[in-house]
A and B are shown apart, each in its own frame.
Chain A
Amino acid sequence: MKKLLVLLMMSMLLLAACSSGASNSNESEEGSDSNQITIWAWDPKFNIKAIELAKEAYASVNPDLKINVIENGQRDIVQKLNTSLSSGTSKGLPNIVLIEDYRAKSFLEAYPDMFQPLTGSFKTEDFVPYKVEATSVNGENYGLPFDTGVTGLYVRTDYLAEAGFTIEDLQNIDWKEYIEIGKKVKEATGKRLLTLDPNELGFLRTMIQSAGKWYVKEDGTTPDLANNEAVKRSFEIYKELVDNDLMNFHSDWNQFLATFNGGEVATVSTGNWITPSIKAEASQSGKWAVVPHPSLPGMESVNASNLGGASWYVLNVPGKEKAVDFLTKTFGSNVDLYQKLVTDIGVIGTYIPATKGEAYKTGDEFFGGQAIISDFSKWAEEIPQVNYGMHTYAIEDILIVAMQNYLGGQDLDKVLKDAQQQAEMQIK
């Protein structure tokens, strides 16, 4: 009886299946389709928007190319790239991927064959030099530079005025002068100078890059901490800021935003990408200005540095020619696109010819009419070239500990020596 029932059911199912028609076969073909490319990037409000604008611009050049933009978190992209590249398979990889400059070398050096060299396909002299350096390995250009993380010192002009300063007093100063001003501002307003997350040393990075130094030597692999004057001075300045209670602490991004939006600090020293967050507090319009990044005192250093920024890389998978064509004809040469990037999203590119455009020269009322984009672009060109190497974040983890030890009263030389040893051990 049961068998019969099952049989009946089966036949009914069969009939039903027969009549339900063809199933939809809509599988996506990855890369194998010669007329489409895939791009991975993170941050839908920034990078994804930028790539969409580039897509629009490219439609007039080659309307047939289908461009799939896939949004993934940065962590996911790094993880997927590492997994795919280390397993040696190119399947499932995109044609173009956005990689943070600090991490780029770790991929380029570990998997040189998997990336398509772009040398000669765009004019490197049209891009700011530090960015070209960051995207190149052994004289080959691999990345097409995208945004710049050029830093500036965002300052509250009203607090400065209370202490009797104008922005003129802050042009091209070094950190020592900055601290002196900070003390007076605190005296006058009770506000601390700036806020930092003790678990993150981006601040330190900007300081050492302004002196043309990095955590590693020019070869990109040898840790350079114990005898690195820039690191040493940066540590000292950090401690001085803390000791003079000029440093506010936050523990995460939300607190960071809340601190300056709430008017708790007089300045913010970070990359230009913070501009939208500063402007988010509309009530502070006209109270902010941007001045050049302070330089390191007592050594060769410029009033410009960088924090963050990413570039586009083409992977050595089928469709790479199309991908290269897409990048070079958009981010590689399209001045108009860069104007749109500035006006629509606020992305400051590293393409020098674009800085002559109208959008770059427009003044921003929030910053008292200052043409901040133009200023940032100018500073970007001055940023010293450094080889970020492969181990930025690994060494930084060591330095975070070292900084706490130093703040806790240990001798700076010893702290850095220990850090150097630890870094050498870890990296090798």
Chain B
Amino acid sequence: MRILTNRIRHNSLFFKMFLITILIIVTISSLITWTTFRMSEKFFIDRFSFNNSKMIDQIKESVGTFQYSIVIASNNLLNNSTIKSFLTGKHSNVQLGSYYYQVKKQMNNIKTSVEAYDVGIMVYGINGISFATERSSWAVSDEELQNHSITKKTLKQPNKLLFHLEQPRNQTKGENVIIATKAFMEPTSKYIYGTMYFTIREKEFRKFYSSYTSLGNDVLVMDPSGTVLSSNRDEYIGNKEEELKDYAIQLEEQQKDYMDADFKGKDHLIMIEYLPTFDLYLVNLIDKKAAFGNIIDKKSIVLICILFIFLAIIIVFFASRKVTNSLSNLVKQIENTPKNDFDHYISVKGTYETRQIGQAFNSMLDELHEYVDELVLIQNQKRNAELAALQQQINPHFLYNTLTSIKFMVQQGGKEEATDTINAFISLLQNTIGNISETITVRQEINNLKSYVLINQKRYGERIRVNYFIDPNCFNSQIPKLILQPFIENAFFHGFNKKSGGTINVLIWEEEATLVCEVLDNGDGMEVSVNNKLPDTKRKQEMFSGIGVRNVHERIQLIYGEAYGVSISSEIGKGTKVRISLPVQKN
């Protein structure tokens, strides 16, 4: 789990980039696809509406021709005196027989004008007599005809050629018939003497437009009440489509060619053309989904898009992976660099940018190194200078105390004694102040110690004895100046407060490359703190120089490094052992 979160953290740049890229790719592809759909749909709609308005023109023309032939036939019927006399007045049976013959002859002539269409002509007179050229499509008896709604409607508008739809009374047999009717009316007297019916099976009428229709591209012929007279879709025939009627009115008002609208719950492109001579509407319905849905295979386009998106994502994945990998590797390396370890250089690889960053990081480390080294050097020099200054400082108390002791020696007549003391004092001062070099030989240091001890013995008596055990090999070894003096001083002034006297042994020998100096006393001993710190000297005036036991350790480490230094072990009542380790340095 932690590994995982770590991974995510390390690759967060990659994940962010990758997610954003995916998001953008998906969004853009969807937008483009959607736009393409919209545009192509618009394109097809434009095409369709253009083609279909042409189509409607052609349908209008062919329907117009048909209507014209019916008009011709109706005019011929109106002007035919045989038919007029057939339809008016009473006829004997024999007369009727000959009328049937004559009317048939006339009808055959009249029928030639509608010969091109499968049209049946029927006439029905006010005398209740009828004649039909072809009655099979509309089987209706004379009595039915008289009371038929079509007849009544026709007689109400005797001047007009009306179109009606007659549906079979029972669904199983018979078929839809479109009937054009007109009344027989004398033009001047307005005397109505019958009705003429032109019957055409709806299936035949449909042929005027059915060749233009296709899946989702339907044509309807609708009367002004919204009743569908004919359609290539059987289910619409005879229905009253109020919706379409409203659309027809809207289109007419707005003077538009077509409109987008909802029909039967589906999105349609609707074109409606009014045929004034028919008093009928020619409706072209284009079911967008059915008509365009097939042309544009949305499913496969979307699938292809998804495929491309997928491919793009894979490419993006590997490409951005490669870019961000070098960066995150860099970050990982930088992160792993320990706080104090400036030696940890990072490997420079990857892209140009990351290489540059790596180089910059490494050169920063370099500079840091230099800077720190310099700083350490300066610090050391500074401390050295401080210590050197302290070393040069001879405590004035020591000076006048010593001089006072000598003065007393002189006064008491100890001439020899005073001379020795003064000699020791001179040599001590010579070696500390006069000698400017930092290190001196063990021999010189021992001489100094002897001088110091002599002075102290003169001043405080000889109850503390000092013995020197020096390995002769070590006499020429270099050691820092006044390195042993503070411990002797310490032993003198603090080691024998309870005991009345004792010995201080100074031992110097070599252990391989280490010069070991030990200052042992058999005095009071003391509590040694845990961190091996030396106690402070309280009596400042007793000190010889600025350097105390405390400084020694510090000074050794400053000069020779951590491996060397001062260690103290002490036992109360038994004495103290100070061990100083130094490197062997010979001129």
- Where the two chains meet, the residues of A that have a C-beta atom closer than 8 Å to any C-beta of B are 5, 8-9, 12-13, 15-20, 192, 196-199, 242-243, 245, 247-255, 258, 400, 404, 407-408
Nearest-neighbor residue (CB-CB) of B133 within chain A: A252
Interface residues of B (CB under 8 A from A): 36, 39-40, 43, 93-94, 96-98, 100-104, 130-132, 134-136, 139-142, 295-297, 299-301, 303-304
- Interchain pairs with CB closer than 8 A, number: 81
Q: 8 tightest CB-CB pairs across the interface, nearest first?
A: A16-B297, A19-B300, A249-B97, A198-B101, A251-B100, A199-B104, A198-B100, A198-B97
B93 close to A248 (CB less than 8 A): yes
- With contact pairs A8-B36, A19-B297 given, residues A408 and B98 touching in the complex (Cβ less than 8 Å): yes
CB distance from B315 to the nearest CB of A (A): 21
Q: List 17 A-B contacts (CB under 8 A).
A: A5-B39, A13-B296, A15-B300, A16-B295, A16-B297, A20-B297, A197-B100, A247-B97, A249-B100, A251-B131, A253-B136, A254-B135, A254-B136, A254-B141, A400-B101, A407-B94, A407-B97
Query: What is the chain A residue whose CB lies nearest that of B93?
Result: A245
- CB-defined contacts of B136 to chain A, threshold 8 Å: 253-254
A8 to B142, CA, bound (A): 65
Least CB distance from B178 to A in Å reads 19
Closest approach, in angstroms, between the C-beta of B29 and any C-beta of chain A? Answer: 14
A8's nearest neighbour on chain B, judged by CB, is B36
A242 touches B97 (CB 8 A): yes
How far is the CB of B143 from the nearest CB of chain A, in Å?
9
Name the residue among A20, A192, A199 with the largest chain B CB count within 10 angstroms. A199
Chain B interface SS verdict (over half): helix
Q: How far is the CA of A274 from the CA of B145 in the complex (A)?
A: 25
The interface residues of chain A lying within 8 Å CB-to-CB of B101 are 198-199, 400, 404
Decide if A251 touches B104 in the complex (CB within 8 Å). Answer: yes
Task: Check if A251 sits within 8 Å of B132, measured CB to CB.
Answer: yes
Chain A interface, >50% SS class: helix
* Chain B residue contacts of A8, Cβ below 8 A: 36
Q: What is the distance, in angstroms, from A45's C-beta to the closest C-beta of chain B?
A: 10
Task: Tell me the bound Cα distance from A254 to B94 in angstroms.
Answer: 20
Q: Are A15 and B301 in contact (CB under 8 A)?
A: yes
What are the residues of chain B within 8 A of A251 when measuring CB–CB? Answer: 100, 103-104, 130-132
Whether B100 lies near A199 (C-beta < 8 A) is: yes
Q: Complex: how many Å from CA A250 to CA B39? A: 65
Q: Are A192 and B297 in contact (CB under 8 A)?
A: no
Q: A5-B39, A15-B301, A254-B132 are in contact. Are A192 and B93 (CB under 8 A)?
A: yes
Bound Cα distance A196, B100 (Å): 11
* Bound Cα distance from A249 to B94, whole angstroms: 8
Structural contact, A198 and B300, CB atoms closer than 8 A = no
Chain A residue at smallest Cβ distance from B40: A9
Residues of A within 8 A of B96 (CB): 249
Q: Who on chain B is nearest to A199 by CB?
A: B104
A251 to B120, CA, bound (A): 14
Chain B residues with CB under 8 Å of A192's CB are 93
Q: Which residues of B contact A250 (CB under 8 A)?
A: 100
Measured between alpha carbons, how far is A198 from B93 in the docked complex, in Å? 12
Q: Give chain B residues whose Cβ lies under 8 Å from the Cβ of A252.
A: 131-132, 134-135
A38 CB → nearest B CB, Å: 23
Closest residue of B by beta carbon distance from A5: B39
Q: How far is the CA of A8 from the CA of B305 in the complex (A)?
A: 14
Bound CA span A124–B75, Å: 56
Asked if B43 and A15 sit within 8 Å, CB to CB, the answer is: no
Closest to A250 in B: B100
Q: A254 contacts B40, CB within 8 Å?
A: no
